[in-house]
Structure 1
């Protein structure tokens, strides 16, 4: 079997059992999903704990299947898609949601800050908690770190459908609320 024969299964860890007799294919698939696994769980350790299993597959496999079926972007908004998936599956409740949502939105903001090449200086993310935003800023100098903040805005400016959304910031501070953009 060639690598090209397994390419459609690379984002579908739920289908790995189809290749249980083919070690080369399993190694190739394992390498393909490992980057996504680390991108998801490394910045969000509470999500791994929440998954209820040591390897995180209780969340990872169904989320990857869901994302593959919807052809979502696994770029910077990956963690926002996880929030949407968790909400759709009614997995969050008041006792576990705040830290998980905070970590996921912070990870999305950090991924945006290192990957965005527009003139924007920052991003504000609505993560599903009213009056709270996660804000990520690009590095302003080579020797500085990315800055991720959680801010309480004191007003309910949540999106109409109450799903994770964002807007870009083109100044050194949030001086105007331009409205929310949906992730694509």
Structure 2
């Protein structure tokens, strides 16, 4: 079999079952496996409860989710966990999802945003139309500070996002206004 080029690698990442085209001891198989492994760990190390649904290797969730995400051309940005939850909610796993999983995955997305965003906003607030609480992720306030994620309960709930999930950015380190929900980015 010919060596794996970048186009083949992207196709294999988009459709993880294509990895089976290559012998396990080939460089192509190892290259695909290494690339996929980073996404596997991103998902299951942060949300280990998913392994309770999918078994210890997580492949019953991971492979179909990655194929679904690739077919929709989703980026693996901070919203990665929200998209994984959306896929789960429409999958055969939907009836087995614990009530706490949506909030956990929103918290994972907020933490990822606080880690990777380089914009001026100090925080992100995520909302779930099925929950009155909000999840906020905050960047570091100082050089020696830490990022944080918190659940916020408001006295009067905000209008729910148009779609199941929505977000808005917060310019400072206090939640003072509600600018309205933005859709989760692809």
> Aligned partners of 1:111, 1:84: CA distance in 2, in Å?
17
> Aligned partners of 1:58, 1:172: CA distance in 2, in Å?
40
> Aligned partners of 2:176, 2:40: CA distance in 1, in Å?
37
Q: What secondary structure is seen at the aligned counterpart in 1 of 2:67?
A: helix
| Structure 2 unaligned blocks of 5 or more | none
Q: What secondary structure is seen at the aligned counterpart in 2 of 1:117?
A: coil
Out of 61, 74, 77, which is 1:75 matched to?
A: 77
> Aligned partners of 2:13, 2:65: CA distance in 1, in Å?
14
Q: Could you tell me which residue of structure 1 aligns to residue 174 of structure 2?
A: 173
Tell me which stretches of 4 or more aligned residues in structure 1 moved more than 4 Å: none
| Structure 1 unaligned blocks of 5 or more | none
CA contact (8 A) 1:79 1:108 kept: yes
Q: How many residues align?
A: 181
Q: What secondary structure is seen at the aligned counterpart in 2 of 1:114?
A: helix
The 1:106–1:69 alpha-carbon spacing in structure 2 relative to 1, beyond 3 Å, is: same
> Aligned partners of 1:81, 1:75: CA distance in 2, in Å?
10
Deviation at 1:175, TM superposition (A): 0.9
Taking the TM superposition and a 5 Å limit, the aligned residue runs for 1:116-127 are 116-127=117-128
Q: Could you tell me which residue of structure 2 aligns to residue 107 of structure 1?
A: 108
**TM-score, normalised via structure 2 length:** 0.88
Deviation at 1:166, TM superposition (A): 0.8
1:66-106 CA-to-partner distances (Å, cap 9, x unmatched) read 000000011111001112112222634587131x2122111
Q: Could you tell me which residue of structure 1 aligns to residue 183 of structure 2?
A: 182
Q: What secondary structure is seen at the aligned counterpart in 2 of 1:167?
A: strand
Deviation at 1:27, TM superposition (A): 0.5
Q: Could you tell me which residue of structure 2 aligns to residue 155 of structure 1?
A: 157
RMSD: 1.9
**TM-score, normalised via structure 1 length:** 0.89
> Aligned partners of 2:56, 2:92: CA distance in 1, in Å?
21
Matched, 1:23 2:26: yes
